[in-house]
Amino acid sequence: MAKNRHPRNHDAEPCPCGLGQPYRACCGRFHAGEAAAPSAELLMRSRYSAFAVGDTAYLLRSWHPDTRPARLELDPAQQWLRLEILGTTEGGAFHAEGTVEFRAHYRDGRHTDALHEHSRFVRVAGAWVYLDALPE
């Protein structure tokens, strides 16, 4: 597994998820296990941030047990640049499932591209988890 690439002494830097809050007060609290994401969108944002900082443990913890891979290795050369939330359905406090459509921009060496996905999230034991991607 990749090591967390986010230096702990930079917790006051803006969170990679794009909400403009310091990492520690935003997705960092979810990554540290101090709080659970209260919505599918915030779980999506926290998962993007986990990719950006290299937190594979959080990515696996926030993945549905039926679809979670046995292990996850991140490419250290891949740099996540920006997240765009394109739309959401349900996924709030009173829902059991929800979707988030997003575009995650990244650089891999000199090549820049974006991952576009419409993700499904469900609750397991009250907590939001990533289930899978809807087919295009």
Convert the pLDDT of each residue in 53-106 to its tens digit: 999 999 999 999 999 999 999 999 999 999 999 999 999 999 999 999 999 999
Higher per-residue pLDDT: 5 or 52: 52
Q: Is the pLDDT of residue 45 over 60?
A: yes
CB atoms within 10 A of CB 74: 19
User: Which residues, in sequence order, are CB contacts of 70 under 8 Å at separation 6+?
Assistant: none
Mean pLDDT, to the nearest integer, of 101-117? Answer: 96
C-alpha to C-alpha distance for 82 and 106, rounded to whole angstroms: 7
Question: In degrees to the nearest 10, what's the CA dihedral of 28, 31, 36, 41?
Answer: 80
8-133 fold = Nuclear Transport Factor 2; Chain: A, (3.10.450)
Q: Is the pLDDT of residue 6 over 70?
A: no
State the amino acid at position 120 in one-letter form: R
